[in-house]
Structures are given as structure tokens and as C-alpha cells.
Structure 1
Amino acid sequence: MKLDHITSRDNPALVRLRKLAADAAGYRKTGSVWIEGDHLLRAALQRGWQPALVVLTEGAMQDAALAALAGSAPRALVVPMALFKGLSGLESPAQIGAELTLPAAPAIDPAAASVVLDRLQDAGNVGAILRSAAAFGVRQVLALKGTAALWSPKVLRAGQGAHFGLRLVEGLAADDLAVLRVPLIATSSHTEHVLHRVALPSPCAWVMGHEGQGVSLALMARCALTVGIPQPGGEESLNVAAAAAICLYESERQKG
């Protein structure tokens, strides 16, 4: 490992990483992402990802565990905390982060259990859904155009490491889903089918729609089934990330 002590904010590597951290969709141009914190870095390593570069604070170098994480990359930059704050999107910055090179965008697996994201805007919702998908064994997430950038720093933080075990395909149009050989299912308040009382196909693709507009008409027309989630408390609707977790759990429960 090459270890460089950096004290200038004008260091070319730091300038590049600041731009990457500040641009939610910057990874689409650079092919790499910035992840912050030892939790995300460990999650990536556990899934076989290798960082191209690690940045850590001078204080982190005194922590044996964090210093060992730095050794996972061929190059590490040691910086004062003031410089690390320039890379951080957190109120209380972590003391270590890394740059990861993204693999080429995968093709859609037609037979895989999936989650389809239809123009979801909130990065926290998107990350939470990715986390639920990983937790319940759904390994493919398909994001239509207009969905928050899947590898943005905010989605990465909300995903808590789920990204590294998922097949993520984004920038899709509704017609691109025609290759799927698994049925699409959407939630709806205008259906006679109740989630836990209907036999769910397995595998399937759960469609989660825009926070305000719901699933588009074009995509709803592709769905083989719509189901309702009981809400005896009388609320008009559930948060989309909560709805996704409930649906994914019920799919897994019915598989036994």
C-alpha cells in the first residue's frame, strides 16, 4: 500500500473526490463512487469489492482497526480532519472513506425476483428499499428513468451496504421490462386482492411507484396483479419504503 500524507486541499485526488461526493449522479461520468464510513467500507469488502483509494484522518491512523481497513486499497491518503470534512456529507463526519470503481452496468436478469422503482424521488426511500430487498433475498433492483441516482451518497448511506450484494440496473424505460419473465405486482387501494390473502407468484417483481403519483399507468398496465395492504388505522397511504418492506416480507413468508 502506498501511503501519502496530504495537507493541501488543492491535492488533485482530493479535488476529484470532493466533486464526486458533491454530485449525486457524478458516478455516471467517472465510473466510481465515494463511500464514507467504516461500515460501508467493511460491507463492500465482505462482498468482494476492493477500493481503489482510501482516505482517512490522521486520528484514524491511530486506530488499529481503521488503519487495517486502509490497507485494503493500493493507495491511502492521510489527511487532517479539516480536509476530510470537505469530502463528507455528514454533520459528524466519519474518519475514513473510499473510492470504489463500479463494474459495467449489468443486463437485466429476466428470471430474477426483482424490485422495480418507478420514478422514486427520495434518496432515503430508495436506499431503504434496497436494504429491504437485500434483507429478503431479492437481488435485482430495476430503476426507471426519473428515480433518484442509485449510487448517490445519500442512497448509499440509506442502503447501509445493501448495494454491494445487489444487481442494480437504472435509467430504464417501462418497455425495457418486457424482457422480464416474472410477473409484475403493484400495490393499489383500488383492488379486491388483499396482500396476505392472495397467493403471490414466486418469483415476482414488485413495482414501487413515485411518492406522490404512484405507479405510472403504462407500468400498471404491465402488472399481472395488484394488491392492497390493510391499513385499519385509516391512513390514506403508507410510505413507499414501508410498503416495499411489507410486500417483500409477505413474499418471503409465503415461500415458507
Structure 2
Amino acid sequence: MNAPTTISSRDNPLLKRLRVLAQDNAAYRKQGQVWLEGDHLCRALLARDHKPALALFTEDGWHRVAPDLRHVASKNHVLSSSLMKSISGLESPAEVGFVWDLPSAPVLQPAQATVVLDRLQDAGNVGSILRSAAAFGFKQVLAIKGTAALWSPKVVRAGMGAHFGLQLVEGLSVEDLSALRVPLVVTSSHQGVLLPQAELPYPCAWVMGHEGQGVGEALAAQARLSVRIPQPGGEESLNAAAAAAICLYASAVGAPG
């Protein structure tokens, strides 16, 4: 096990860099790394056989966290709770955080069961949809330009570790989706086949649209199928993340095998 290096200055260069990484939605694109804070996210990374580039612990956390978290990084740093708070995006800073090197940009897989995010704005919605994709066997998520940054701190926290089991491709145009060899299925709050009555293709690419505007016309025009979720309670529409979970579950239970 590597002995930890103590950080005592707020102006430490590593801390300055990590503050940006933890608080700037686009910093991961420049730094090629993400900040993972808390036991759950750190363990989710390890569960997918990934290792952090470095680990940070509060002074108390270094003695309290399980040994497996202290042994995994090649570089460990210890700092006060107040310094950890200066990095943290959480209301109550965790005792442990990892910095992970992002893998090389993945290439779109044409035949993969896919979720397409069409300009979704809310980080909580995006993270929740990633969780549903991972849970229901949709291994690829494609984000159209204008969608919330997939590796932004808020999306990573909302994803609760789902990121590490998915292939994530972002910054795509509608035209890029022509490479897909699976049919597009779009969702709508007011038109299309009722979901329980739909013959869902599998594998397919579910398209989840902007929270207010829905799926864009260009994407909708390419779809093989448009579906809507029955709402006997009379609500006008569902939250985007809730709708995605329902649709992906419907595909999962109807999938062959």
C-alpha cells in the first residue's frame, strides 16, 4: 500500500485542478478525467474492474474507510475535511474521492441496443436515464448535441455508477444516427401507438426527447415506431426519466431470450 501524501494548503495545484473538475460541467473534456466522490461511486468504478488514477481521503476517512479503497490507487492523498469541502459538489462532503482517467472516445456501435438522448437538459433526468439503460440492458447511449454533458459532475452523481457499464458517445448530430442498424423508436406524450399495444422491435434505439419540446422533427421522421404511455390518471405528461424507465422496461421484458 502506498503511504498517503498530506495536502495542507488550499492553494495546492492538485486541489485547484480538482475544484475545476468537480464543479465545471465541461472540465472533463479538457482534463480527460472525472471526479468521483463518495463510497458508492468509488465502489461502482471498482466493480467494473476500473482503477482510479489517484484517491483523496479526509484525515478521518483514511482511518475509517474499508482497506480495499485505500489499496487500489497508485497515489493517495490525505487532507482536512474543510479542504475536501472546497472540492466537493455535495452538501456534506464524503470521506473519499477518486480521480479516474476517461477511456478513449468510443465509436458508435451500429447493432447495439441503444438509448438516444435528444437535447435533454436536466442533469438529473440524464443520469437517471443512464441508470435505467444500464439496468435494462441498453449498453449504448448516444447524446445529440445540446444534451447535458454526460460526464458532468451532476450527471455522474445522478447516474450512481451506471456510467461505468455503458458506452457513451456524445456531441452527435442527427445525421450521425444514420449509422445505426437498429430501428428508431420515438416517444410522444400525445400521439403514436399505446405502449402496451406496440410490437416493439429488439434490439432498437429508443429516442428520448427534450423535456419541453420532445423529440425533434428530423429524428421523429426517421423512426419506425412512435409510442405513447397510457396515463389513466389524466396527467398531461410524464417526467422524461420516468417515461424512459417505463419504455426501456417494456423492451427488456419483451426481448427474446
Q: Which TM-score band (shorter chain)?
A: over 0.9
Cα distance in structure 2, aligned partners of 1:232 and 1:94 = 42
1:237 corresponds in structure 2 to 237
Distance 1:195 1:150, change over 3 A: same
1:127 corresponds in structure 2 to 127
Post-superposition CA distance 1:153-177 (Å, at most 9, x none): 1101110000000000000000000
Distance 1:231 1:8, change over 3 A: same
User: Quick check: 1:211–1:240 contact (8 Å CA) kept in 2?
Assistant: yes
Post-superposition CA distance 1:21-54 (Å, at most 9, x none): 1111110111101111011010001101110010
**1:237 aligns to what SS in structure 2?**
coil
Amino acid at match of 2:140: Q
Q: Which runs of 5+ in 1 are unaligned?
A: none
* 1:204 lines up with 2:177 in the alignment: no
Cα distance in structure 2, aligned partners of 1:64 and 1:117 = 37
Cα distance in structure 1, aligned partners of 2:76 and 2:173 = 40
Distance 1:64 1:143, change over 3 A: closer
Cα distance in structure 2, aligned partners of 1:208 and 1:75 = 40
CA shift at 1:254, angstroms?
Answer: 1.2
CA shift at 1:194, angstroms?
Answer: 1.0
CA shift at 1:3, angstroms?
Answer: 1.6
**2:117 aligns to what SS in structure 1?**
strand
1:144 corresponds in structure 2 to 144
Runs of 4+ in 1 over 2 A off after TM superposition: 189-192
**1:59 aligns to what SS in structure 2?**
helix
Amino acid at match of 1:53: L
Cα distance in structure 2, aligned partners of 1:64 and 1:189 = 46
Cα distance in structure 1, aligned partners of 2:98 and 2:151 = 14
2:34 corresponds in structure 1 to 33
Cα distance in structure 1, aligned partners of 2:70 and 2:33 = 18
CA shift at 1:68, angstroms?
Answer: 3.2
Amino acid at match of 1:25: A
**1:227 aligns to what SS in structure 2?**
strand
**2:208 aligns to what SS in structure 1?**
strand
Post-superposition CA distance 1:167-191 (Å, at most 9, x none): 0000000000000000000112443
* 1:8 lines up with 2:1 in the alignment: no
Amino acid at match of 1:18: R
Mapping 1:96-245, distance limit 5 Å:
96-245=96-245
CA shift at 1:192, angstroms?
Answer: 4.5
**2:126 aligns to what SS in structure 1?**
helix
Cα distance in structure 1, aligned partners of 2:176 and 2:254 = 28
**1:18 aligns to what SS in structure 2?**
helix
Amino acid at match of 1:243: A
Cα distance in structure 1, aligned partners of 2:223 and 2:190 = 14
**1:86 aligns to what SS in structure 2?**
helix
Cα RMSD (Å): 1.1
User: Quick check: 1:2–1:74 contact (8 Å CA) kept in 2?
Assistant: no
2:63 corresponds in structure 1 to 62
* 1:82 lines up with 2:82 in the alignment: yes
- Normalising by the residue count of structure 1, what TM-score does the alignment of the two structures yield? 0.97
**2:4 aligns to what SS in structure 1?**
strand
Amino acid at match of 1:5: T
Cα distance in structure 2, aligned partners of 1:228 and 1:124 = 22
